[in-house]
Structure 1
Amino acid sequence: MGMSATDKIIERDALNWLVRVNDPDFTDWEAWEDWMAADARHADTYWRLAEAEQDAVEAFRTAPARRTPVIRRGFALPRRAMMAAVVGVFALGVGWIGWSARPQPWLIETAPGEQRTVALDDGSQVVLDGATQLVLDRRNPREVTLKTGRALFEVEHDETRPFLVQVGDTTLTDMGTVFDVTHLRDGARVSVSEGQVQVEARAGRALLNPGDSVIASPRGLERRSVDVDGMDDWREGRLSWNGERLDVVAQDLGRTLNRPITVSPELATRRFSGSLNLRGTSAMQKSRLELLLGVTVIEDGEGWRLEP
């Protein structure tokens, strides 16, 4: 059985820590210890990777012109330094391997109201909505992180290399499909148009098929159906929802209209189904919102507030 998306991320992070700890200028011991203690799998993976490279260590020991660290007699190493010395022996062997495998992040950012299409080296394509930040890895185009905003993914099929999308604490695994992802304030929303997407979140797991959608948040996994044909309508200025909470609707509106939009507490959990064309003037937009959402739109500084 292959590794899960979470295990792959832990292994990648463990390798990064091995390389960092081997850096003579490394000082971030507290963060390293916190990461090791956060999950038992972290320490297990860390030491497994270190021990797996003993052959490389032996090769480096016999290589000429290599400086060897010297510890003076009578000098007591601090606990952290002693741990680092153990790690360092292994990391010397994996350092050059780890360095070549380390992620090379590449941030793509769109301004509010801007849309951008990015073609990846593997043939996949990502369409970014306005006010969106996407982090790519130049060495592995099939692992991306959606930091903010919304993106539509059209993934090239590859059975041996699943496509991974990280959205906060939620990991999406895809083998070749079309799906839409939104980074929400307290979670992530995923909708599938073609193929399948595996969603892994703290609240649980879900397998999404065409027409399926889920919001992963501290409240749990909230599933619903979506119109496949209208999933990318936001590219043309039209937003569609099916039983969506108004606090989530407000986030979509704010990103599209480039203004902060908040919802009064008594309206936050109200559900809305329908679509909105957001083209036109500010007055036209407010009028449509009030009519279709059944709310009053109040100007609140630079933003709007939705009230009963």
Structure 2
Amino acid sequence: MSLDQDADDWFVRMRGPDAADVRAQFEEWRSVPAHAQAYERRVRSFDTMMFLASTGTVRKRNLDIAKPWVLRTAFRKYAAAAIGLMLTGSLVLIAAQRGFGEPQSLSRMEVASLEDAPRHISLPDRSKLILDRGSRVQISYDHNQRRLRLLVGRARFSVAHERTRPFIVEAGAGRVIAHGTLFDVELTQSAVRIALLEGAVEVRDASGGNGRKQLDLRAGQRTAIEGGSVVKPTSIAAADSQWPNDMLVLGGVEIGEAVAVFNRTAPSPVLYELRSSRPVRVTGAFRRSDPEGFARQLAATFGFRVEELQDGSFAIVDGSRPET
């Protein structure tokens, strides 16, 4: 069996009912760099196919006549079933849109980053999307607008400029409208957070649904929508814009905030239980993919200790704390 066929089989199994049972075996297989690259190619190919499959042109095609090198046997079976489900959803969406007098949707899909962080996705209009770990976004394009809804987590949007078709991101009670720019949107339990890295965007809260502009955000600013209202913008902190990179660079950040920033994309959390009231500020570069290294580097720098917990996470504790 070829490497691509192996990747096809794992793609199907990790989206099937026995995914939890075979995860350890899958992770061992994927630990080989060539295997990981083949698997990522499969994931990206499937996202592209799902998006194209929802367009009017492709809906008229017969999936069974696709060339074998496009859809291999196992991959094709899963893709056909998934596209069928997705197309059903598209029909429901179109019917709902017609009921409200809106234009028919040309394409719709939902993408997620469940296993890898961050995940890079290219969109058909040349825009780009980066999803944080555990994030999901719904994408819907038509002739008049490009609309995306962040359902869970955080995403970075690099928007290709189109003069006549705005790029709209909805999350919770907030909405961001852009034409060509680079910005982050994060959905938390209590707020929607927006950080603008390049260009300019309009930020609207729930009360601005009828077209009333709430805030023009400028590059280097961040804001939030809390309690249904847009809060006053502030400057972006360096750590806030680094999350798509594996390296996290911190400069004089209080240890509680440093741990919180690190945990947002870490494969397992780092905890800290410090009785000391002395101020501790963290400066340095850390790999987001290495929680143990992060915890031990902080402990060694400030005279703390590290405890490995039963769930595999690591806790930074006072050096005077007795061993357990």
The TM-score bracket by the shorter chain reads: 0.5 to 0.7
8 A Cα contact 2:167 2:179, kept in partner:
yes
Work out which of the residue numbers 157, 161, 164 in structure 1 matches 2:165.
161
Q: In structure 1, what is the Cα distance between the partners aligned to 2:175 and 2:259?
A: 24
Work out which of the residue numbers 159, 183, 192 in structure 1 matches 2:187.
183
Q: In structure 2, what is the equivalent of residue 192 of structure 1? A: 196
Q: CA deviation at 1:171?
A: 0.8
1:114 to 2:114 alignment: no
Q: In structure 2, what is the equivalent of residue 239 of structure 1? A: 248
Compute the TM-score of the two structures, normalised by the length of structure 2: 0.50
Compute the TM-score of the two structures, normalised by the length of structure 1: 0.52
1:256-284 per-position Cα deviation (integer Å, ceiling 9, x unaligned): 112356788x9xxx997866522564431
Q: CA 1:279–1:122 in 2, change beyond 3 Å: closer, same or farther?
A: closer
Q: In structure 2, what is the Cα distance between the partners aligned to 1:173 and 1:117?
A: 21
Q: In structure 2, what is the Cα distance between the partners aligned to 1:110 and 1:226?
A: 25
Larger Rg: 1
8 A Cα contact 1:245 1:272, kept in partner:
yes
Q: CA deviation at 1:138?
A: 4.6
Over the residues paired in the alignment, what is the CA RMSD in angstroms? 4.5
Q: In structure 2, what is the Cα distance between the partners aligned to 1:105 and 1:248?
A: 37
Work out which of the residue numbers 149, 155, 159 in structure 2 matches 1:151.
155
Q: In structure 1, what is the equivalent of residue 128 of structure 2? A: 125
Q: In structure 2, what is the equivalent of residue 18 of structure 1? A: none
1:283 to 2:292 alignment: yes
8 A Cα contact 2:192 2:224, kept in partner:
yes
Alignment identity in percent? 22
Q: In structure 1, what is the equivalent of residue 53 of structure 2? A: none
Alignment of 1:69-88 (within 5 A): none
Q: In structure 1, what is the Cα distance between the partners aligned to 2:299 and 2:291?
A: 12
Q: In structure 1, what is the equivalent of residue 219 of structure 2? A: 210
1:181-230 per-position Cα deviation (integer Å, ceiling 9, x unaligned): 222232122221211022223599332211111233339625321368x7
8 A Cα contact 1:296 1:307, kept in partner:
yes
Higher RCO (CA 8 Å, separation ≥ 6 residues): 1
Q: In structure 2, what is the Cα distance between the partners aligned to 1:179 and 1:247?
A: 25
Q: 3-state DSSP class of the match of 1:101?
A: coil
Q: 3-state DSSP class of the match of 2:124?
A: coil
Q: In structure 2, what is the equivalent of residue 17 of structure 1? A: none
The number of equivalent residue pairs is 213
